[in-house]
Amino acid sequence: MTLREQNVSQLTSTTFDALVIGGGINGAASAAALAGKGAKVALIDRGDFAGSTSMHSSNLVWGGIKYMESNDFGLVRKLCKSRNHLIKSYPSTVQEIRFLTTITKGFRHSPHYLWAGTWLYWLMGNGFTQRPRLLSPTNIKQEESIIDASKAVGGFEYSDAYLHDNDARFVFNFIRHALDYGATAANYVESLGAERQDGVWVTNARDTTNGNTFEIRAKVLINAAGPWVDQHNSLTGEQTSHQHLYSKGIHLIVPQLTASKRVLAFFADDGRLFFVIPMGNRTCIGTTDTHMDNPDAVVTDEDIRFVLDNINARLTLEKPLTPADIISTRCGVRPLAVEADQGSDRDFFQMSRKHVVDTNRDTAHMSIFGGKLTDCVNVGNEIADALTELGVTLPKADFHWYGEPAESVKQQFMAQAKRIKLDALTPETSSELLSTRLWRRYADKAFAMLEKIEADSRQAELLIEETEYIRVELEHARDHEMITELEDFLRRRAKISLVVHHEQLRHSEGLKEACRVLFGDQADARFAAYFDRHTNTRLSETAAEV
């Protein structure tokens, strides 16, 4: 029986203290916090964990410097503190990175004014990061030769942070924490709605892999469905004081534009910040900000033109980027929390990105609106406090439920890796040593990997061409990461489908071998299903554009 099958079977075995609907960052952090503090928790998601907004971010953990322009200083202060805390709590994963921002002639603010703002931003973050720098157009060109500084009047450099791995991987690690603390979690389990019966929420659920339906019972229901919070509330008859508006954002992944490990920031034609973000041997560019009437978003030709036009106008590339250079796309909606009586005719650039926990004490129901990766620890702690206020006792209320293992555990891992000469097995094409990579991605779970590699050095062999994934990682994913569809691995536990061309993957013998590790006898069927699904998706999006 697989890990997922075990968890699905446990969903009907008891009445939980809380059931979390949705496995994005809000739901994952909530489940980890509650389970770590001793609550009996279940979490379900109708797709894969982090299968929507939480896998389409800019991979940035930042204090929201742009929110200063709308005078949302309280939010900026809170996010800066959260960013600092994540850097300290996840030093291998959440890392400081410099942002170089170029200001062109005619912009609404002068470089000196904005530079002064970065100092305020730095102070609001308690001076935790490197200090800001003011740059002349000459300085900019010297430090980043690909920037077109001919129309620049200056710029500045400041610090925020980014996720070394992808956002979905960061989310899954909270799911993994929740499981370790005793939670029951399952992907591909859909909530069909819930009713309050005799003081308990009874949720009608369906296993989308086989169609089986069953009931899940919980004292408290937590709606963390991301962009679909409002839709699920309608299924349960919940009235809330907040609702969501939607803003679509896309990113394009292209070949590496610069080898520097900094983010290049510009102000796009629509006035919002626009980024060139390092992603290993690739570059991520974007984003857009488009009002949507619903959470279902796709990348359009207009979106692609906007991103390419903006980047080509701001960089001096040997050849302008074209759609042919696009390796993959990211497209999601930002669910923006607003009061329920406010309409949709709002300035999206100026809207707050704060999260709101909307609690109905009479029905023991919570809805989480908005949210950001940066604020995930705050969300988890707020949900734990709210559960206590609803009368659920948390036996370990002061438990520290997040973060990497202690430095002593890391040093023990590194010593063991050195003893077996792990780093000597690092594939030549890898961007970092195996010891660094395995610790960052798996922390103390990587001790078992060391044992397997020591017993058989072939476990350290690269399995999929132009990636960094070795055989032992595939076996770990199969046994511990609830890989149900091939996309779960390629897109969310890993970022392979973001950085490797689709057609290259289709013809990859290494990927076929990886499928055999992940799915056994079902390998060929899962491989074919993935590429059939993505071919049909691309055809339907093309048809929608015609």
CATH number, domain with residue 31: 3.50.50.60
Angstrom distance (rounded) from CA 44 to CA 32: 13
Residue 545 domain-assigned?
no
Structure token pair of residue 295: 């959470």
274 and 153 in a single domain? The answer is yes
What confidence score (pLDDT) does residue 70 get? 83
Residue-level pLDDT at 347: 54
Q: 141 and 287: one domain?
A: yes
- Confidence grade of residue 351 (pLDDT, cut at 50, 70, 90): low
Q: Is 124 a member of any domain?
A: yes
Which of 349 and 337 is assigned the larger pLDDT?
337
Same domain, 417 and 518: yes
The domain boundary, picked from 298, 316, 339, lies at: 339
- The confidence score (pLDDT) of residue 109 equals 86
Pairing of strands 365-369, 356-360: antiparallel
* One domain for residues 416 and 386: no
Longest alpha-carbon distance in the chain: 71
Same domain, 146 and 116: yes
Both 367 and 326 in a single domain?
Answer: no
Whether 379 has a pLDDT exceeding 90, the answer reads: yes
Reply yes or no on whether the pLDDT at 63 is more than 60: yes
The type of residue at 295 is P
CA atoms in the 13 A half-sphere facing the CB of 317: 18
Query: Is 398 a member of any domain?
Result: no
Q: Answer yes or no: is pLDDT of 4 > 90.
A: yes
534 pLDDT band, cuts 50/70/90, is confident
The pLDDT score that the predictor gives to residue 542 is 43
Cα–Cα dist 256/281, whole Å = 5
Please report which helix (H) or strand (E) contains residue 134, including its range. Answer: strand 133-135
Tell me which of 360, 390, 420 is where a domain ends: 390
**Helix, strand, or coil here: 381?**
helix
User: Is 432 inside a domain boundary?
Assistant: yes
Q: Does residue 540 have a pLDDT over 90?
A: no
With respect to residue 59, please indicate whether it lies within any of the assigned structural domains.
no
In this structure, are 148 and 260 located in the same domain? yes
Q: Identify whether residues 147 and 263 lie together within a single domain.
A: yes
- 280's CB contacts (< 8 A; 6+ apart) are 431, 499
Residues 6+ apart with CB under 8 A from 32: 174, 175, 177, 178, 181, 183, 380, 401, 402
Contact 38, 388 (CB under 8 A): no
Do 214 and 79 fall within a single domain?
Answer: no
d(CA 75, CA 66): 11
Q: Is the pLDDT of residue 343 over 60?
A: no
Tell me the average pLDDT of the chain. Answer: 93
Q: Are residues 27 and 132 in the same domain?
A: no
Q: What's the CATH number where 308 sits?
A: 3.30.9.10
User: Do 139 and 181 have their domain in common?
Assistant: no
Domain contains 400 = no
The reply to whether 149 and 269 lie within a common domain is yes
The total domain count for the chain is 3
Last residue of a domain, one of 320, 355, 390: 390
Q: Is residue 42 part of a domain?
A: yes
Digit-coded pLDDT (tens) for 431-481: 899 999 999 999 999 999 999 999 999 999 999 988 999 999 999 999 999
Which structural domain, as residue segments, surrounds residue 109?
Answer: 65-164+245-339
The residues near 312 (Cβ < 8 Å, ≥ 6 apart) are 320, 321
Measure the N-to-C terminal CA separation of the chain; round to a whole number of Å. 46
The whole-model pTM stands at 0.94
367: in domain: yes
Q: Which two tokens stand for residue 103?
A: 């200001």
